[in-house]
Structure 1
């Protein structure tokens, strides 16, 4: 009786599925999501690209022109006064590029330019003229008739030296002083005040020593030209730095 019951119970069960050799059949693979994987990879790539662009922008440099010496207002920028520097590119700053250095001879300093300045367009002008009411006078000065460190762009006053006017009105040789006291020991007033030194042709120390004279050009009021040129022709001009000069 028990044997029959066991047989009947066994008949109600489904036989277990087995693969040949007694192994179980492989289970169904898990469902993968390739879209999410692709999105993750894309995000990583975008992040890396953004970081690269930021680094590249921060590292953008342009080759610009910087000054190695002072250039007075109204003077051209000589080749000897420039050097190449790398600066951060900025669309709001109009740097004068190093490849544009050949164009500098067409321009002049719009203001006094100091050593170390990086040139931008607003520092230069094509205006080569002299201000209305002004004139340029050339001088040939001996030692003692100019300050030792006279530079282009300095503001000076010119005095007559070498002669003094007596109370009787006749000119007599006299000690008009030197550049240290403005030639005022003879009581001579300034021939020109507030003059600007346009150029100082120092050349070399040897050339100045051999000639004994220093060529200097100054910008003065036209009203001062007659007396200044008369004194200059006789070698009777002394230049004195004004107290407000920047040198």
Structure 2
């Protein structure tokens, strides 16, 4: 009888309700192993990308870039250059920015450099060395519109002609046919500096301008005389590559 009374009392007792403030038990979460694996892969990929960026930053060097047009024979300085980071390349002999003061005091440019050029060691020569090759002379040519082709730049090769009114006149004792050859002043003059050609690309064939050309020393006097009176014209001829 006692066992039956206890069972009856338990059955009749009301179910215990949760008190205020107690949290109901949450259903068990569904596990998604695929999403977890994807999250791990994303974390690893981000870490790898960050590592690569750090490694690439460590392979960059600060080098010299020109901020102005600098003529042949000119010097580099902090006034006409700036520093820029580039990828390190052992095959390219960049001039490092920490060498700019040494370059200013010891070296000069062997050829003209346009604004925005990256400077490499091969562009520099010692200040005690002439920029003019042995047996050559540098001559400045004053040219007017129509006396030169557009797009001339350092490295081009031109022929220089005397175009004055007396250029083809025969000298005493010369025939008309032989005198005509005197109009060619230089068959191959190397352009060392082209005023305006390095400012944003090739120069247009408009307006007056000057060229500095390297010619055999024996041709320098005639070129200078003809240029001084505005009686020269240049023609682009096959020579060194224009690239």
TM-score range, shorter chain: 0.5 to 0.7
Whole-angstrom CA distance in 1 between matches of 2:61 and 2:115 = 20
Q: Deviations over 1:132-185 (max 9, x none)?
A: 1111222221111122222233221111102343467599xxxxxxxxxxxxxx
Q: 1:105 to 1:192 in 2, by over 3 A?
A: farther
Whole-angstrom CA distance in 1 between matches of 2:134 and 2:238 = 25
Partner of 2:218, secondary structure, is helix
Partner of 1:145, secondary structure, is coil
Whole-angstrom CA distance in 2 between matches of 1:220 and 1:168 = 25
2:162 aligns with one of 153, 160, 163:
160
Whole-angstrom CA distance in 2 between matches of 1:63 and 1:110 = 23
Q: Deviations over 1:186-230 (max 9, x none)?
A: 6654211221223233499xxxxxxx6423322110111232223
Which residue does 2:212 correspond to in 1? 217
Whole-angstrom CA distance in 2 between matches of 1:158 and 1:198 = 14
Alignment check: 8 A CA contact 2:63 2:97 kept: yes
Which residue does 2:121 correspond to in 1? 121
Whole-angstrom CA distance in 2 between matches of 1:187 and 1:111 = 32
Structure 1 residue 73 displacement after superposition: 6.8
CA-based RMSD: 4.3
Whole-angstrom CA distance in 2 between matches of 1:193 and 1:80 = 38
Whole-angstrom CA distance in 2 between matches of 1:80 and 1:246 = 31
Which residue does 2:11 correspond to in 1? none
Q: 1:166 to 1:65 in 2, by over 3 A?
A: closer
186-195 or 114-123, larger mean C-alpha shift: 114-123
Alignment of 1:43-122 (within 5 A): 58-60=56-58, 61-66=60-65, 76=75, 82-89=81-88, 94-106=93-105, 107-110=107-110, 118-122=118-122
Larger Rg over CA atoms: 1
Structure 1 residue 83 displacement after superposition: 4.9
Alignment check: 8 A CA contact 2:112 2:193 kept: no
Alignment check: 8 A CA contact 1:67 1:83 kept: yes
Alignment check: 8 A CA contact 1:64 1:85 kept: yes
TM-score, normalising length: structure 2 = 0.53
Structure 1 residue 232 displacement after superposition: 2.0
TM-score, normalising length: structure 1 = 0.52
Alignment check: 8 A CA contact 2:143 2:208 kept: yes
151-160 or 120-129, larger mean C-alpha shift: 120-129
Partner of 1:165, secondary structure, is coil
1:226 aligns with one of 221, 225, 230:
221
The answer for unaligned runs of 5 or more in structure 2 is 1-49, 175-179, 200-206
Which residue does 1:10 correspond to in 2? none
Alignment check: 8 A CA contact 1:72 1:153 kept: no
Which residue does 1:241 correspond to in 2? 236
Q: 1:243 to 1:133 in 2, by over 3 A?
A: same
